Amino acid sequence: MGWHGETLVGFDLETTGTEPLEARIVTAAVVEVRGGDVLDRRDWLADPGIRIPAQASAIHGISNERATAEGRPVREVADELADTLVGHWARGVPVVAYNASFDLTLLTAELRRHGLPGLSERLGGAPIGPVVDPYTIDRAVDPYRRGKRNLEAVCAEYGVVLDGAHQAAADALAAVLVACAIAERHASVAALTPGELHERQVGWYARWAADFQGFLRRKGTPDAVIDPAWPLRGHVPAGTAGAAPAGTAPVGAAAGGGAAPAAAIPGAPEPAVTPAGG
């Protein structure tokens, strides 16, 4: 049947903001799925150590008061979450995340901020993966479809019911179901191994980034830089407190992991931007 008929792990973060080097984890979920059935689920609520902006709280529903009263220290949450993902990768299970480069870069920044081993370090220096990103895949297999490509819109396109958008567990499950639906619709995607699909996404994302960067520069932003790296953005400095890489002109993001709004400029390739949390 292909990789989409095997066990997959959905992953999503809800966060304090839109810049992965600055934002902090508020909630997280890892959902193990096979054949559309949930086999296991883990949820985390963190005290991010900074105030959650009202705009982010309005998206995911977690207030500062609740995060402070009920959340665990974000250092503990990031450490456990990293171990959980690495445990699945060590067993060869693909991790599915919508707009994966946001969530994985943010998690990596949290780990480095707190002096914890990174994802690759926990794998003995091996590259992370396989990762399946329905956002990147959908954009590659259906590049000319009009309209938004946020998680809600792509769920509608593929007939996936999304209950509780911007709740980490709901978004993580939806990401898996969308990935499977894409594979069902596109035999060329289903035929790949998880490792082959991971490598294809590296190329698809880099090609999109180059196209979008060129578009922005032609349209009057000559210093625009779109990081082509996937599934981790290219520069996550140790001890990062949030500064973006020098020389970059970030393209608008909304707080959090999964969903990416449609391009702000008609006719532009769609930007890899994310609302606060999936």
Q: Which two tokens stand for residue 80?
A: 């456990």
What pLDDT does residue 237 have? 52
Architecture of the CATH domain 3-218? 2-Layer Sandwich (3.30)
Q: Using an 8 Å Cβ cutoff, are 151 and 143 in contact?
A: no
Per-domain boundaries in the chain? 3-218
Q: Which two tokens stand for residue 48?
A: 């991010």
Residue 26, classed as helix, strand or coil, is: strand
Q: Name which of 122, 218, 134 is nearest 179 in CA terms.
A: 134
What pLDDT does residue 249 have? 32
Residue 119, classed as helix, strand or coil, is: helix
What pLDDT does residue 252 have? 31
The contacts of residue 199 (CB under 8 Å, 6+ apart) are none
What pLDDT does residue 238 have? 52
What pLDDT does residue 236 have? 58
Phi, psi (rounded to 5 degrees) for 2? 115, 175
The reported pTM is 0.86
What pLDDT does residue 235 have? 61
Q: Render each residue's pLDDT in the chain as its tens digit; 278 residues.
A: 799 999 999 999 999 999 999 999 999 999 999 999 999 999 999 999 999 999 999 999 999 999 999 999 999 999 999 999 999 999 999 999 999 999 999 999 999 999 999 999 999 999 999 999 999 999 999 999 999 999 999 999 999 999 888 899 999 999 999 999 999 999 999 999 999 999 999 999 999 999 999 999 999 999 999 999 999 998 655 544 433 333 333 333 333 344 333 332 333 444 443 344 54
DSSP character at residue 97? -
User: Can you tell me the distance from the alpha carbon of 103 to that of 97, in angstroms, rounded to the nearest whole number?
Assistant: 8
The DSSP bridge pattern shows strands 25-34 and 72-73 to be unpaired
Task: Please return the burial class of 57, using the count of CB atoms within 10 Å of its CB with bins 0-12, 13-18 and 19+.
Answer: buried
Q: In this structure, which amino acid lies at residue 4?
A: H
Cα torsion angle, 75, 130, 20, 275, sign:
negative
Q: In this structure, which amino acid lies at residue 101?
A: S
What pLDDT does residue 19 have? 95
Q: Which two tokens stand for residue 145?
A: 């479809």
What pLDDT does residue 164 have? 82
User: Can you tell me the distance from the alpha carbon of 66 to that of 180, in angstroms, rounded to the nearest whole number?
Assistant: 35
